[in-house]
């Protein structure tokens, strides 16, 4: 089982970062305000977790003005998509491993 746990990515251990990546995997791009709403987070909390994912090169962003309002868009990089998919595969393997242990022995 240790080999399965070692495949889990520490960047996605936190539920907020897990939520961010989950959303960015199914949406090509998401705006900061929408991410904040969907995850029910404060600006500072979301920004901290986005910076962590940026530091790993798992997400990127662009800033622009729409009218007079700033807009920051985020998206998952190819590296981020690959790392997140591997993390989900490891979680699934861990879940299946646990299910096998729970199965009645014949």
3-state secondary structure of 47: helix
Per-domain boundaries in the chain: 2-99
Query: What is the per-residue pLDDT for 100?
Result: 64
Ranges of the chain with pLDDT below 70: 1-2, 98-106
38-58: pLDDT as tens digits: 999 999 999 999 999 999 999
CATH code, residues 2-99: 1.10.10.10
Please give the Cα distance from 92 to 3 (Å, whole number): 13
pTM: 0.85
Please give the Cα distance from 39 to 89 (Å, whole number): 23
Query: What is the per-residue pLDDT for 101?
Result: 55
């Amino acid at each position: 089982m240790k080999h399965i746990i070692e495949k889990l990515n520490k960047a996605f251990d936190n539920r907020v970062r897990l939520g961010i990546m989950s959303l960015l995997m199914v949406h090509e791009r998401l705006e900061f305000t929408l991410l904040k709403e969907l995850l029910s987070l404060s600006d500072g909390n979301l920004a901290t977790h986005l910076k962590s994912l940026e530091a790993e090169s798992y997400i990127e962003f662009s800033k622009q003005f729409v009218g007079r309002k700033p807009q920051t868009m985020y998206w998952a990089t190819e590296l981020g998509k690959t790392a997140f998919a591997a993390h989900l595969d490891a979680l699934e393997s861990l879940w299946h491993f646990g299910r096998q242990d729970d199965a009645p022995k014949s």
